[in-house]
Amino acid sequence: MSEQQGFSPQERRASFTLASIFGMRMLGLFMIMPVFALYGDSLSGFSPLWVGIAIGAYGLTQAILQIPAGWLSDRIGRKPVIYGGLALFAAGSVLAAVSDSVYGVVAGRVLQGSGAIAGAILALAADITREEHRTKAMAIIGVCIGISFAVAMVAGPLLAAHFGLSGVFWATALLALIGIVMVRFLLPDYASKGQIRDVTAAPELFGRLLKDKQLLRLDFGIMLLHLSLTAVFVAFPLSLVDAGLVREQHWWLYFPTLLMSFVLIVPFLILGARRNMNKVLFQASILVMMVALVLMAVAGSQLWLLVVAMVLYFTAFNFMEASLPAFLSMLAPAGGKGTAMGIYSTSQFIGAFVGGVAGGALYQQLGGAGVFLLVALTMVFWFWLSTGMANVSRVRSHILPIGVKIETESARSQLLQRLMALPGVHEALIIPDEGAAYLKVDGNIFELDQAKRLINL
């Protein structure tokens, strides 16, 4: 394959650079989760409620700002927004590192979350890659996010054991500064393509997508998934201590359980894709997560049972984290993926915030078992919600630049009719201002080259 046809060195370097920046930022956000309940007790104002608020606080500002930050990157460019977001993240990390009260740490976490650069990074990845390789670039970013979570579960306890809680925050500040250097020296300046509806949100689509019951199921799903995550990590580290595992050794548990969970989900991801069993495996994962939470609640001082529970929880969590964005991509209408993803990501961050606050409040009133059991009840609701979910198939999205003139409504209508007549095309949308056609197709029978020839007649 020629360089023109394949993933070019420039595209590859830029994709891995952006994925690394995204991953380091998420690493900084996640590292606090397994350690704050254990190492924050020296802070004034410390309580289980404030533990939860500190863990989930970043989600509040992320939820509020991530869509506007994406829009801002359309207007002033991607790199200025990324620079500003990383600077805010570094400032929040420093504030948390030097604080001697839990309130200062919460303020730092809120400031960390205000550096909402996800939309700008994804938009820049779309700017620098050709359409036929965009999915590959987004997959690289997605893999880095998953790796960052796994690394955070090990690196957080290790850093806290050697350098204390402030050391974790200083490390996150350093990661942000490294990210700024990477943007400066590893990413050439690219001309922004403006709004790209596959990665940025279109305001006029919000009303329509918020009424789509299938997409709303996914939005509620990611909200409940991250609600469970932040709530669990208010209580689970303390459960490990009660079971006799000293806090300096917690990474011994997280590392093998995460590794095992990644191995376990691979056959299920393959099975879901090849046998069209996505819905069955999705619902099974909800049940597995519910069982894991119940085991956490009844484990008491039995460390082995907590280990089993965590393997089950991480396996289900990682399967959901990988599957939900794929389902959303399949279900979002042509030209609406960026908007659907914006609503989805906002739901995720709301879940992280609510889970932290609720987990802290519940732990203060009911203890760890109460947290786990009540979060398990949310899984029951999620399972009921999932019964109406469509069993998504092999649907793919494509953006094609239009090489023909469509100056009139009649010309646009004719081109749309021709596109819809192609085998495998489910939806087609032409945006004249962007000079692009958005297609949603059946990947089994759609021929991309045929569509390109039609559009470039």
Among 376, 393, 410, the domain boundary falls at: 393
Structure tokens at 218: 């996914």
Residues 383 and 243 in one domain: yes
Inside any domain, residue 213: no
Inside any domain, residue 210: no
Cα angle for residues 253, 255, 259 (degrees, 5° grid) = 120
Residues 381 and 404 in one domain: no
The count of other CB atoms within 10 Å of the CB of residue 426 is 14
Q: Are 105 and 54 in contact (CB under 8 A)?
A: yes
Inside any domain, residue 220: no
Residues 92 and 115 in one domain: yes
CA distance 342 to 348: 10
Residues 402 and 318 in one domain: no
Residues 371 and 407 in one domain: no
What pLDDT, on the 0 to 100 scale, is given for residue 405? 61
What pLDDT, on the 0 to 100 scale, is given for residue 436? 81
CA distance 192 to 209: 26
Residues 188 and 247 in one domain: no
Q: Which residue has the higher pLDDT, 448 or 168?
A: 168
Residues 109 and 258 in one domain: no
CA distance 237 to 235: 6
**pLDDT of residue 182 exceeding 70:** yes
Residues 107 and 190 in one domain: yes
What pLDDT, on the 0 to 100 scale, is given for residue 3? 40
Quote the number of domains for the chain. 3
Output Rg (C-alpha) for the chain, integer angstroms: 23
CATH, residue 442: 3.30.70.100
Among 393, 419, 446, the domain boundary falls at: 393
What pLDDT, on the 0 to 100 scale, is given for residue 386? 94
Give 7-11's long-range contacts (Cβ < 8 A, gap of 24+): 7/133, 7/136, 10/128, 10/188, 11/128, 11/129, 11/130, 11/133, 11/137
Inside any domain, residue 54: yes
Domain hosting residue 172, numbered range: 1-200
Dihedral, CA of residue 370, residue 371, residue 374 and residue 377, to nearest 10 = -130
Contacts of 9 (CB under 8 A, 6+ apart): 3
Residue recorded with tokens 């794929």: 326
Query: pLDDT tens digits, residue range 431-449?
Result: 877 778 888 888 778 888 8
Query: pLDDT tens digits, residue range 50-108?
Result: 999 999 999 999 999 999 998 898 888 899 999 999 999 999 999 999 999 999 999 99
What is the three-class DSSP state of 432?
A: coil
Residue recorded with tokens 């000079």: 435
Inside any domain, residue 216: no
Would you say how long the chain is, in residues? 457
Contacts of 324 (CB under 8 A, 6+ apart): 218, 221, 222, 225, 344
What pLDDT, on the 0 to 100 scale, is given for residue 342? 92
- At 417, which helix (H) or strand (E)? helix 409-420
CA distance 108 to 101: 11
Q: Are 86 and 120 in contact (CB under 8 A)?
A: no
Cα angle for residues 160, 165, 170 (degrees, 5° grid) = 95
Please give the full DSSP string across 12-51, using - where no structure is assigned. HHHHHHHHHHHHHHHHHHHTTTTTHHHHGGGSBT--HHHH
Residues 287 and 408 in one domain: no
Q: Which candidate, 325, 321, 322, places its Cα nearest to that of 397? A: 325
Residue 427 backbone dihedrals phi, psi, to 5 degrees: -140, 150
What is the three-class DSSP state of 243?
A: coil
Q: Where are the beta strands (DSSP E) in 302-447?
A: 395-401, 425-431, 436-442
CATH, residue 372: 1.20.1250.20
**pLDDT of residue 403 exceeding 80:** no
What residue type is 201 in one-letter code?
Answer: A
CA distance 406 to 412: 5
pTM: 0.90
Winning range, highest mean pLDDT, from 113-127, 134-148, 338-352? 338-352
Q: Are 391 and 279 in contact (CB under 8 A)?
A: yes
Inside any domain, residue 206: no
- At 396, which helix (H) or strand (E)? strand 395-401
The count of other CB atoms within 10 Å of the CB of residue 389 is 18
Q: What is the mean pLDDT of the chain?
A: 89
In whole angstroms, how far apart are CA 370 and each of 33, 122, 285?
A: 19, 39, 22
Inside any domain, residue 81: yes
What percentage of the chain exceeds 70 in pLDDT? 95
Inside any domain, residue 221: no
Structure tokens at 263: 């191995």
Residues 417 and 375 in one domain: no
Residues 94 and 7 in one domain: yes
The count of other CB atoms within 10 Å of the CB of residue 169 is 27
Residues 4 and 113 in one domain: yes
Contacts of 334 (CB under 8 A, 6+ apart): 397, 426, 427, 428, 429, 438, 439, 440
Among 393, 416, 431, the domain boundary falls at: 393
**pLDDT of residue 362 exceeding 70:** yes
